[in-house]
Amino acid sequence: MLKLRINGQLRAVTSAPDTPLAYVLRDEFKLKGTKIGCGLEQCGACTVLADDEAVQSCATPAAVFEGRAITTIEGLSQTPEGKRVQQAFVAQRAAQCGYCTAGLVVAVTSLLRTQGAFDRATAQTALRGHLCRCGSHPRVLAAAEAAQKGDG
């Protein structure tokens, strides 16, 4: 049986192994913070961490993630960087409807973990694949900058 490490816990997966990870997270484990927008790896809403890498989860089979540490938006608040990024998003009011927000928080957390210090251009490039129909990107970039500086 497929086992996945999700938010620090080893979980047995009963869904078919070719089920995309986002559906396993949402439907089997009720981790509804991971959103599904396009379902086609085009919008970034479904982004989760695999180890420290930000990955889209809507189309890749869950079995591909065996052996990697998956962290969803629910698990991020238990980590120092995730908490810092979430606080920065709140302080900068970097969301409107919020549909894209979990994916963006995950992506900025990945950036913090993998790059440490980064500039706005690096953040812009890293977040390019994340669509926000509400136009929150300027505030998201401000939040990324604040999180990076530890301003919260």
Q: How many residues bind ligand FES (CB under 6 A)?
A: 23
* CB 116 to ligand FES: min, Å: 26
Location of structure tokens 């997966």: 13
Distances (CA, A) of 139 to 52, 94, 95, 106, 120: 23, 5, 8, 16, 12
Of 71, 62, 66, which Cα lies nearest the Cα of 20?
62
Beta bridge partners of 49: 54, 71
Stretch that binds ligand FES, among 2-10, 39-47, 62-70, 72-80 (CB under 6 A): 39-47
Classify burial at 150, counting beta carbons within 10 Å of its beta carbon; exposed 0-12, middle 13-18, buried 19 or more: exposed
Say whether residue 86 binds ligand FES (CB under 6 A). Answer: no
The single residue among 19, 28, 32, 38 that binds ligand FES, judged by CB under 6 A, is 38
Say whether residue 90 binds ligand FES (CB under 6 A). Answer: no
Say whether residue 136 binds ligand FES (CB under 6 A). Answer: yes
Task: List residues binding ligand FES (CB under 6 A).
Answer: 36-39, 41-46, 56, 58, 95-101, 132-134, 136
